Amino acid sequence: MIRQNLHTHSIYCDGKDIIEEMVCEAVRKGFTILGFSGHGPCAVDDCAMSESGLEKYIRDVHAVQEKYRDKIHIFLGIEEDMMQRIPSKDPYDYVIGSKHFVKLNGQVKSIDYSEAVSREIVEMYNGDFLRFAQDYYADISRMAEFDEVDIIGHLDLLTKFNEDESFISFHDPAYLSFAEECIDILTGAGKILEVNTGAIARGYRRMPYPEKQLLSYIHEKGGKILLSSDCHDRMMLDCFYRESLELIRKCGFTSMMYLTEGGFQEAPLDEFR
Ligand SMILES: [Zn+2]
Ligand SMILES: [Zn+2]
């Protein structure tokens, strides 16, 4: 059986746990694959790792990789924000590409900070959420050209505070068309999309990213996915995993991706838990 999380934060960025505590909890919860993905250094991101923190992070992950070799497969990754790409894929085993910020008229605002800030972003678009969504998905599509990126993080993060659909209906045809075009481009480039339960763990959402309709669309287009918890607290390492596997199955998927020492591989959905 495969139990994997490749989206994991620690005290080096905005997570609660030291690297080794996270590994021990992963082993206790029966994970077979754990990847760390600290926020890569990014000038506009208060949550990102510092350059000196990054060096320690890399050393720490390599140390647990060795120490727990017989118990769990550990990988060194990074979550790169589009605002500041990493200079090189080396030394990382994999890279998550994410968009956390909107830059408009010289202002930079965080997409996932709070509902109030999300409203400010929409105001920057003269109250037109669709224009925001169009820009957002067009920007994320650019990651198709980012060779270092393996996984696209939380595809529809812009709907973090939209559980009640107060910003936009998840069925809005224009909204869906922007998201679907983005999915076409990313899956066409072979990027893996993640089903991300992080906002559930932190009480913002009841369902993972991407929203069900988009997840079904990814399946229709032959897109590859994996499940992750965007973990910032080791107690939430497997948050909503059982329910998400059910959702993934309902959306038509029969397989998911997992990471090995030789790169990404695909396995039948039945092998995941
Ligand atoms: Zn993120
Ligand atoms: Zn993250």
Domains defined along the chain, listed by start = 4-271 (3.20.20.140)
C-alpha 196 to ligand 1 mean position (Å): 10
Residue 145 to residue 68: CA distance in whole angstroms: 35
pLDDT band at 152 (very low <50, low <70, confident <90, very high): very high
Q: Is the pTM of this model over 0.75?
A: yes
Q: How far is the CA of 6 from the centre of ligand 2 (A)?
A: 10
**216-263 confidence digits (pLDDT tens):** 999 999 999 999 999 999 999 999 999 999 999 999 999 999 999 999
Report, as an integer, the average pLDDT of 136-162: 98
The per-residue pLDDT for 41 is: 96
| Spatial contact of 229 and 237, defined as CB atoms under 8 Å apart | yes
Going along the chain, which residue ranges are E strands? 4-5, 33-39, 73-81, 94-98, 101-104, 107-110, 151-152, 192-196, 224-228, 255-260, 263-268
pLDDT of residue 272: 98
Average pLDDT over residues 119-123: 97
Question: What CA–CA distance (Å, rounded) separates 25 from 14?
Answer: 18
Dist CA 204 CA 261 (whole Å): 34
Which residues have CB atoms below 5 A from the ion given as ligand 1? 98, 153
How far does the centroid of ligand 1 lie from the alpha carbon of residue 91, in Å?
20
The number of helices, as runs of H, and strands, as runs of E, in the chain is 8, 11
**Mean pLDDT, the chain, whole residue set:** 97
Distance from the alpha carbon of residue 9 to the mean position of ligand 1, in angstroms = 10
What is the reported pLDDT for 136? 98
Question: What's the distance, CA 44 to chain centroid?
Answer: 19
pLDDT value at residue 213:
97
Quote the pLDDT of residue 129: 98
